[in-house]
A and B are shown apart, each in its own frame.
Chain A
Amino acid sequence: MTTLDSLGPSHRGRIKTVHGSHAISQRLMEMGLIEGSTIEVIRLAPLGDPMQVSIHDYNLSLRKSEAALVEVERCT
């Protein structure tokens, strides 16, 4: 199983599912992390966490612990 936190900068993935507790997964889905959407990792913060991703034409920051809840399929 590949999760979003394992993607490196400028790698893309297609979202399969969002796991995790109700509140966090609901928040992620509201922000557009819906199955089938393409998400790209832009960069990591200088201290290695959180990560900056791009989805639906906007930039989002989320912690790796939250990105680990997002199951993705690597895009080539």
Chain B
Amino acid sequence: MHLSEAAASFALVGNPNTGKTTLFNALTGLSHRVGNYPGVTVERLEGDLKLGGRTVSLIDLPGTYSLAARSQDEAIAVDVMLGQHAGELSVKAILAILDANNIKRNLYLLSQLMELGHPLVVALNMSDVARRHGIEIDAAALSQRLGIPVIPTSSDRGEGVDEVRRALGEALENRGSHPARGAQLPQELVRQVDALQAYLLSEEATLKRKVAWAEALRILVDVEGEFEKRLLRELGVAFLGRLAAFRRDVESERPLHALEAVARYGWIDEIADACVRRPSEMARTKTDRIDGFFTHRVWGTLALLLILGGIFQAIYSWSAPLMEAIDGFFGVVAGQVSSLIPPGPLQSLIVDGVIRGAGAVVIFLPQILVLVFFIALLEDCGYMARAAFLADKLFVRLGLSGRSVIPLLSSFACAVPGIMAARAIDSRRNRLATILVAPLMSCSARLPVYVLLIGAFVPGRSLLGGWLGLQGLVLLLAHLIGITVAIPVLLIVKKTVLRGPNSPFVMELPPYRVPVLRNVLSRLIDQSRAFLVNAGTVIFSVSVVIWALSYFPHPASIHQDFEAQRAAQGSPAERLLLDQQEASAYLSQSVLGRFGQVVEPVVEPLGWDWRIGMAVVGSFAAREIVIATLGTIFSVGSDVDEGSETLLGVIKSATWPDGRKLFNLPVALSLIVFFALCCQCVATLAVMKRETASWRWPAYTFAYMTVLAYLAAMATYQLGMRLVA
């Protein structure tokens, strides 16, 4: 008996911006589990709900306005409620949350939920705010009309939560004791849904499931909707003819969806007339006054620029000290461990492989925390929708919407939090398109590479009468390459892999609210954990693999050679030089080094020799590693940074075997262009995998960016050499 109860799960369903997250947190506490539904990009949130002595699980389904799913992501909620999602527990009851402030639109979803056949409990949320606006809802009358318990709540203040819990417990005990009285759909529509369902039940053997009435309704009404598409996959395209016949037989002058919507809103009007009292003219609310400022032509634009600038500045500079501290911490640990373990493969594995790999994961946390904090804050208070509203027009021509503004802007600091921020984009295609171009925005990890090469090879000439230096101009151009390339990439992507009509930008502008600290905290915890667990594993493993490739085979003969030379040298400076040369010799003998030598002809058209090529390949674990690798291979040690004079001197004097200078301006520019466009960053790819739940999108991104980077770098070098000549 206890087993079946433990397996019971409830679903929390409602429109977006109804305080759903707050209610979920109030009911389950902070101890919830986050994951992804397999195959889609939807986050799966589940928590334990204690009902008296029993514990059931509460699934927080994505906020939605209707069950008419237009994408696989939107279909998830319906599938979970209908118990058709593979691997999901079947839902035993539904807790529907309604916002008392705009009860009419909220009742639309409820009228659909009432047709699913599950026991329902309604939480009438934010009744206190509604009352302040003069909206009075008679919860008892509403409950009686609907035939289901209706509990006024104020999830922000924790009011009504215990009553909801109690009602859910009762719903679990006497299932179906409340005969729900939902909307009356037109007879001609109901008849055809019945007929379609009967037909689909007769096809049970082929479908391997029983089609519920609510799903049959969606299949019939939603032309080209997700449920129709799925059925055509299951029964073959030939079924479309039969489906069209079912649709034709609904004799009505209105399209089917209008038939449904008009009937439901008719029912809603009756309920509202009976149970809701509102002033005939709504007073100007606080939200209206705040909006007068935040969406104002001048002030609103200024405020948006300030907020975006502030977020960018925060990710860019607030996280810097934290990142340095993390870097320092891992440096100290590495130093301690080095002194404990004798030099050899084990020391190198732990210091250069494991500790550096862990550092490569944790280093992203500050930027993620800062961005997720701001996004959670802006979303919770309602500003996020305004930002999208203000910026939308800039993105329409690229096939995106204003919701892409924060993910893309954040990617200029780091694509990892930027890609995570793309969760706020409701359209799946727009979200994927945004994720695909996010790594093209020039992130802060590319900066050291630019600074090193520009400092070494771009003359420090001043332009425009001293207002702009040539070096600064090149740095600016390096940042602009990515955005410039992103535009055609977006246009192509939206015409090929992600083609389809631009999704509608019908977006609610929710009332402004004071952000709930608990929601912000739980978002921070969930997202950091998701990053560390999912993406972290990949980043760590790749770091260790790259360490191994640059360490093995590590022949003993090199060591013996250098030991002999060291014995002959006296001064510490000369011994240090020998140590550095030894490291360089090991690296060129390593698998990575040999690979570089084999593929030198591939990178030669870019003006690179095998050492540069190898350093670039080795930077896959993290872009900025390229500098350390160059330091090692050019025998100046790996603890160099972009300002290192010795590294500058060495790469300036490096030569090809025939004595030609290796680096010159075209080579430096070709490297800059390559880094601007390539996706040599396992963290980005790992986060992409985690956020899109598939390796397909990171694979696409890596492929297109590498090809673009290669071609553009080659063009830069070849053109540069002709101009120099």
Contact = CB atoms under 8 A, between A and B. Distances in A.
Interface of A: 18, 21-32, 34-35, 37, 42-43, 45-50, 52, 56-63, 66
B5 interface: no
Nearest to A17: B258
Interface stretch (B370-378, B451-459, B476-484, B504-512): B504-512
B105 A56 contact: yes
A23 B297 CA distance: 31
A60 to B, nearest CB: 6
A61 B385 contact: yes
A49 B261 contact: no
Contacts of B282: 57
Given A31-B105, A46-B300, A50-B392, A26 B68 contact: yes
B505 A66 contact: yes
A26 B390 contact: no
Given A52-B295, A61-B505, A18 B390 contact: no
Interface string B486-508: 00000000000000010011111
Contact of A27 (B105, B388, B504): B504
A35 B262 contact: yes
A28 B262 CA distance: 12
A59 B257 CA distance: 23
Contacts of A34: 261-262, 265
Contacts of B506: 24, 27-28, 31, 60-62, 66
A49 B101 CA distance: 27
Contacts of A63: 392, 396, 504-505
Contacts of B265: 32, 34, 37
B256 to A, nearest CB: 9
Given A32-B108, A63-B392, 5 more contacts: A22-B255, A30-B108, A46-B296, A59-B508, A60-B506
Contact of A48 (B70, B135, B393): B393
Given A32-B105, A46-B390, A50-B393, A60 B507 contact: yes
B102 interface: yes
Interface in B59-83: 65-66, 68, 70
Contact of B509 (A37, A46, A47, A52): A52
19 contacts: A22-B223, A22-B255, A25-B258, A26-B261, A29-B257, A30-B108, A31-B65, A32-B104, A32-B105, A34-B265, A45-B389, A46-B300, A47-B390, A48-B393, A49-B392, A57-B282, A58-B508, A58-B509, A62-B505
A57 B102 contact: yes
A26 B226 CA distance: 14
A50 B68 CA distance: 24
B533 interface: no
Nearest to A37: B265
Given A32-B104, A34-B261, A43 B295 contact: yes
Contacts of B295: 43, 45-46, 52
Given A27-B504, A57-B278, A61-B385, A22 B392 contact: no
Q: Is the interface of A mostly helix, strand, loop or mixed?
A: mixed
Nearest to B507: A61
Identify which of A52, A57, A60, A63 gathers the most chain B CB atoms within 10 Å of its CB: A57
Contacts of B296: 46
A23 B504 contact: yes
Contacts of B507: 60-62
Contacts of B90: none
B7 interface: no
Contacts of B291: 42, 52, 59
A25 B102 CA distance: 21
A63 B394 CA distance: 12
Interface string B211-236: 00000000000111100000000000
Contacts of A62: 504-507
Given A32-B108, A57-B278, A46 B301 contact: yes
A43 B292 CA distance: 9
Contact of B504 (A43, A47, A66): A66
Contacts of B65: 30-31
Nearest 4 A/B pairs, CB to CB: A29-B261, A59-B509, A47-B393, A58-B102
Given A45-B389, A58-B102, A58-B105, A30 B504 contact: no
B359 to A, nearest CB: 43
